[in-house]
Amino acid sequence: MSRSAPHASPLHVLVVGAGMGGLSAALAFQHQGHRVTVVERVNEIRPVGAAISLWPNGVKVMHRLGLGETIERLSGEMTRMRYLNHHGQTLTDFSLAPLFEDVGQRACPIARAALQQTLFDAVGAEHIQLGRRCLDYTQDDEGVTAHFEDGGSLHGDLLVVADGTHSRLRGKLTGHPVERQYVGYVNWNVRVPADDDLAPLHNWDQYVGDAKRVSLMPMGSGGNDQGAPEFYCFFDVPLPAGTPNDSQRYRDELREHFAGWAEPVQAVIERFDPERMARLEIHDIPPLDTLIAPRVALLGDAAHGMAPDLGQGGCQAMEDAWVLADAVQHALTEHADTSKAIATALTHYDVARVERVGEIVSRARKRAAMIHGLDPEQTHAWYDELAHEDGDAILAGLKKTVVGGPLG
């Protein structure tokens, strides 16, 4: 994507939400030479959660936006994948290299704070208005106006709504409220110093049993100032909605849920800092029929909040950003009239994204159900499958998700 606008007059693109989706979109439009204003409701962005795994489809977008090398430098190098049962016996253990060679890009597990800061700096603080909550938008032939809680408003040519899974503006675009659905399990996540008594430094280890899961993923040293490698660890337990969330209880809760599990699991439970841990009830939203209004595009979790069981929510937000900005760039070369160009680009975005993200939302929910024992027989069958897995089926599934993206 070139940095110069193909169109005589660059657009003014408004972006609501400075998460990884909104900032990726802002950067993609800036790369085309458009003026971008990002508005973010909080004064200081503190990402919830320890880390995130950017799979090759997300990293490819970051490379196109000029951030690939930084992301690779700040992230962990994950070369093998292993499933173990709760006693610590290996079910399957294989190299991820064939996948990364095949798709031409490795995965990048990275601290959320490092990713957020990298995107924020790339967009530029001068283009981001913090502490401004968007309440509504209005649109007409001339463009779109975002209205804020502080009484102010901003006018632009296009509005990107990237206000996250709790999106306030989504219901206006779809014309009906979209309720989040509880997926049925609680996730605790945290970073701990990497140590080879926990897992080999470059392994992604997952312990499974009793419809619960513990994951240790190498995330490099980009998450701390000491340059010390860390593991991104998470614990999943199927629980009813509404269980108390008290950081003072995290260690005891996990000791109870994982009593008798393998030594590395016990070690993580005794080592983590509860103040740095996030505990979330996992939700998604149903797939949407459309992601557009005449001057508006819905993007990221606002458009497709999904269970994290494929590690794709953030990657899909990055794909959205790339596809949307690319569609606008092409449409502006085809139409001298801005309104027509935007209409064409938004239609292209909708066609390109609705099916792709809808399928991934559904697949993530099915995988969440399988991992977390919605149907216990299915979960046991999966454990048996893992014990006979040589990696090929898992790598094929990962590859399918990656190559289905806009950058192949």
Select 49 or 229, whichever has its Cβ closest to ligand FAD. Answer: 49
From candidates 7, 11, 22, 363, binder to ligand FAD by CB under 6 A: 22
From candidates 76, 218, 311, 358, binder to ligand FAD by CB under 6 A: 311
Order of all β-strands in the sheet with 12-16: 128-130, 35-40, 12-16, 158-161, 296-298, 292-293
Residue 84 contacts ligand FAD per CB under 6 A = no
Residue 182 CB, nearest approach to ligand FAD (Å): 13
Residue 317 contacts ligand FAD per CB under 6 A = yes
Residue 406 contacts ligand FAD per CB under 6 A = no
φ, ψ of residue 154 in degrees (nearest 5):
-135, 140
- Judged by DSSP in three states, 73 sits in helix
Name which of 145, 176, 172 is nearest 159 in CA terms: 145
Report the distance separating Cα 270 and Cα 195, nearest Å.
Answer: 14
Q: Look up residue 99 and give its amino acid.
A: L
Residue 49 contacts ligand FAD per CB under 6 A = yes
Name which of 316, 20, 36, 284 is nearest 162 in CA terms: 20
Select 187 or 203, whichever has its Cβ closest to ligand FAD. Answer: 187
Residue 16 contacts ligand FAD per CB under 6 A = yes
Contact 285, 305 (CB under 8 A): yes
Contact 233, 192 (CB under 8 A): yes
Residue 373 contacts ligand FAD per CB under 6 A = no
Select 19 or 264, whichever has its Cβ closest to ligand FAD. Answer: 19
DSSP per residue, 247-270: GGGHHHHHHHHTTT--HHHHHHHH
- Judged by DSSP in three states, 242 sits in coil
From candidates 72, 157, 163, 230, binder to ligand FAD by CB under 6 A: 163
From candidates 53, 206, 215, 401, binder to ligand FAD by CB under 6 A: 53
Q: How would you write 285-351 as a 3-class SS string?
A: CCCCCCCEECCEEECCHHHHCCCHHHCCHHHHHHHHHHHHHHHHHHHHHHCCCHHHHHHHHHHHHHH
- Judged by CB under 6 A, the number of residues near ligand FAD is 36
Residue 106 CB, nearest approach to ligand FAD (Å): 14
Compute the residue count for the chain: 408
What does the block give as tokens for 96? 């991820």
From candidates 10, 29, 40, 218, binder to ligand FAD by CB under 6 A: 40
Residue 76 contacts ligand FAD per CB under 6 A = no
From candidates 11, 14, 15, 18, binder to ligand FAD by CB under 6 A: 18
Candidates 6-14, 136-144, 157-165, 269-277; binding stretch for ligand FAD (CB under 6 A): 157-165
Residue 264 contacts ligand FAD per CB under 6 A = no
Select 49 or 222, whichever has its Cβ closest to ligand FAD. Answer: 49
Report the distance separating Cα 192 and Cα 82, nearest Å.
Answer: 19
Candidates 250-258, 262-270, 296-304, 395-403; binding stretch for ligand FAD (CB under 6 A): 296-304
Contact 304, 11 (CB under 8 A): no
Residue 57 contacts ligand FAD per CB under 6 A = no
Contact 223, 51 (CB under 8 A): yes
Residue 162 contacts ligand FAD per CB under 6 A = yes
Residue 45 contacts ligand FAD per CB under 6 A = yes
What does the block give as tokens for 219? 């995330």
φ, ψ of residue 238 in degrees (nearest 5):
-65, 125
* Triad 295, 407, 21: Cα angle to 5°: 45
Residue 232 CB, nearest approach to ligand FAD (Å): 8
Residue 313 contacts ligand FAD per CB under 6 A = yes
From candidates 65, 78, 111, 134, binder to ligand FAD by CB under 6 A: 134
Select 281 or 343, whichever has its Cβ closest to ligand FAD. Answer: 281
From candidates 37, 70, 105, 189, binder to ligand FAD by CB under 6 A: 189
Site residues (CB under 6 A) for ligand FAD?
16-22, 39-42, 45, 49, 52-53, 58, 133-134, 162-165, 168, 187, 189, 280, 300-302, 308, 311-315, 317
